[in-house]
Structure 1
């Protein structure tokens, strides 16, 4: 083939060019990984392009601080894309984007087949992204956000935990929150209150905390903050934590102080617990598989419908309960000596 013909095809010219030749040129270009200045990838046949998905993290989240949850989401997204010959490209955190960065990453005919947003970003930022790439999915964000959304069933998670604790005889259940101010914390806390109400149990704001982070250290700090109240007769016999990392931290702190879980206090987490290590307890938790969230997001991004005609979907994946070592029957009663011991701890 002549250089002129190849140049015309790669710049998007279709008129007067044999369809089979057009396809062959683009297939060979994709196979070589060739990308010249001025080349128009938007004109390539879909079969000639390997789908590349841009990954953007919520503000303040970085690759080095993905944590246990979003690292599994990322793995699920990668696995789902890889099965179809796709790949991901990390584009940064949402708070790193300005007009110049958007223009540089998303010129006309840019290479991204779609965008995956990890966590909560502003609707205004989503609209800017959608104007450049309509094929976009937000993972673990508010379900009313523009574009596709994929979320776990937080209501079902908290219902499972509350019902589990109620069957064990617990009637007073507290809340150890994390990621205060973020949408996911508010969603889980609201689901906690709704689950208590549905179970005929009362919530008590005196036994609820909300920490800025959600790791093991925050779980330990959260339970320590409430221990001075342990002398009260209405002190909870169980606590639900924002996640299983906080539940692990709270459990280790109580055990270190001589208060064994779950014989004196049950501690559970509002997500699926990771496999325990030799130094950590097997936490009871309920939530949606983070790997499944990433895999579902990949399926939405790879759908064959043209981006301009997308019918956006809002998926909610079911939760399940895993019973570990940190939940058990509610203690029948505490003696005044036991309350004093817990308060000192």
Structure 2
């Protein structure tokens, strides 16, 4: 491994003072011309310089040496690289594909709940060497503001903060309208909601959109079931279905709409365990457009924005040669998939 490039050597090569180089590489911008700041950072990274303690330094410095523009991304809590979630794995794939086609790469900067003041100090040092930042999932509002102040070009996916950064969300109104229309055409007149990630913008948007779509057809939402401790995965879907059926006072709704595909899979598993035939006794669908819709039997009726497209749109916003003078709020249309998990409304909901 070669000798680490020193700040003194950078100063000599550029013909500037070592004090100026030290201030720039330690993140100071006050009183320093932008041209000087960029010149020092670009030269330092092109020569392989990497600040001590920077966890993303290898990726960034190597990509800069290869002339690759870099886009950072951050995950909402409690997601990690190892459990990025079904939805955000698709989003990241779309972002990665677009950036690769554009000669750029992504670098993971951390998860919302693990970011420290030291991380933010490092972000300030590398911000001018990066094209921008993508935030995957709803995170603390003040954190979004802080990141936007540092990186400038920020795209917020599946959430929005008007006046602070760009946003890309799915058209939940369109998605739930298509699901309700499909189920209504099949003769369903009673509906239940299996919610996930309660308290988030996505849950609020999807539930309100479902209620509005049902109200337009004068159809009732008989039940709402939320996970006891939050979350929106297979386990939460299974537990919500169990709780919903535990209410013996009312006959179960014939059509169940789930927050996402993974919750729908958990819901279907519990219904099968209890002897219900999904698609005949109870129809199950999801606000989703990921691989879980056709990953196993029965295929899942689902509607939602294609997450890979959301990732590609984020890449387009970040890589645009001319950045817009205003923040864009992009709402991606929903696609609809008719699966085996829905069928005509039964005369009587029964077990096998």
Under TM normalisation by the shorter chain, which class is it?
Answer: 0.7 to 0.9
Q: Is the 8 A contact 1:178 1:218 kept in 2?
A: yes
> Of the candidates 305, 312, 334, which is equivalent to residue 288 of structure 1?
305
Q: 1:92 maps to which residue?
A: 110
> Of the candidates 267, 271, 275, which is equivalent to residue 250 of structure 1?
267
1:238 aligns with 2:251: no
What's the CA shift string for 1:212-240, capped at 9, x where partnerless? 1222222121111111335635x311100
> Of the candidates 78, 81, 103, which is equivalent to residue 63 of structure 1?
81
What's the CA shift string for 1:191-221, capped at 9, x where partnerless? 11111112221223xx111111222222121
Q: Is the 8 A contact 1:80 1:299 kept in 2?
A: yes
> Of the candidates 312, 317, 320, which is equivalent to residue 327 of structure 2?
312
Q: 1:112 maps to which residue?
A: 130
Q: Is the 8 A contact 1:239 1:268 kept in 2?
A: yes
The structure-2 alpha-carbon separation of the partners of 1:78 and 1:273, relative to structure 1 and needing over 3 Å to count, comes to closer
> Of the candidates 47, 50, 58, which is equivalent to residue 34 of structure 1?
47
- 3-state SS, counterpart of residue 277 of structure 2: coil
Instruction: Give, in angstroms, the shift of residue 145 of structure 1.
Output: 6.3
> Of the candidates 305, 320, 340, which is equivalent to residue 325 of structure 1?
340
| Structure 2 unaligned blocks of 5 or more | 1-9, 25-38, 52-63
Q: 2:60 maps to which residue?
A: none
The structure-2 alpha-carbon separation of the partners of 1:215 and 1:197, relative to structure 1 and needing over 3 Å to count, comes to same
- 3-state SS, counterpart of residue 107 of structure 1: helix
Instruction: Give, in angstroms, the shift of residue 104 of structure 1.
Output: 1.6
Q: 1:167 maps to which residue?
A: 185
TM score, norm. by length of structure 2:
0.79
Q: Is the 8 A contact 1:273 1:284 kept in 2?
A: no
Q: Is the 8 A contact 1:143 1:314 kept in 2?
A: no
User: What is the CA–CA distance in structure 2 between the aligned matches of 1:278 and 1:130, rounded to whole Å?
Assistant: 37
- In the TM superposition, 1:77-156 aligns within 5 A as 77-107=95-125, 110-142=128-160, 144=162, 146-156=164-174
User: What is the CA–CA distance in structure 2 between the aligned matches of 1:279 and 1:321, rounded to whole Å?
Assistant: 18
Q: 1:209 maps to which residue?
A: 225
Q: Is the 8 A contact 2:86 2:290 kept in 1?
A: no
User: What is the CA–CA distance in structure 2 between the aligned matches of 1:224 and 1:166, rounded to whole Å?
Assistant: 25
Instruction: Give, in angstroms, the shift of residue 171 of structure 1.
Output: 0.8
Instruction: Give, in angstroms, the shift of residue 109 of structure 1.
Output: 6.0
Q: 2:30 maps to which residue?
A: none
Task: Say what the alpha-carbon RMSD is for the aligned residues.
Answer: 3.0
User: What is the CA–CA distance in structure 2 between the aligned matches of 1:278 and 1:244, rounded to whole Å?
Assistant: 10
The structure-2 alpha-carbon separation of the partners of 1:128 and 1:232, relative to structure 1 and needing over 3 Å to count, comes to closer
Instruction: Give, in angstroms, the shift of residue 140 of structure 1.
Output: 0.7
User: What is the CA–CA distance in structure 1 between the aligned matches of 2:310 and 2:206, rounded to whole Å?
Assistant: 17
User: What is the CA–CA distance in structure 2 between the aligned matches of 1:121 and 1:247, rounded to whole Å?
Assistant: 25
User: What is the CA–CA distance in structure 2 between the aligned matches of 1:251 and 1:75, rounded to whole Å?
Assistant: 27
Instruction: Give, in angstroms, the shift of residue 49 of structure 1.
Output: 5.0
The structure-2 alpha-carbon separation of the partners of 1:108 and 1:298, relative to structure 1 and needing over 3 Å to count, comes to closer
Moved more, 240-249 or 268-277: 268-277
1:298 aligns with 2:315: yes
1:193 aligns with 2:200: no
Instruction: Give, in angstroms, the shift of residue 5 of structure 1.
Output: 9.5
- 3-state SS, counterpart of residue 345 of structure 2: coil
- 3-state SS, counterpart of residue 309 of structure 2: helix
User: What is the CA–CA distance in structure 2 between the aligned matches of 1:165 and 1:280, rounded to whole Å?
Assistant: 20
Q: Is the 8 A contact 1:175 1:239 kept in 2?
A: yes
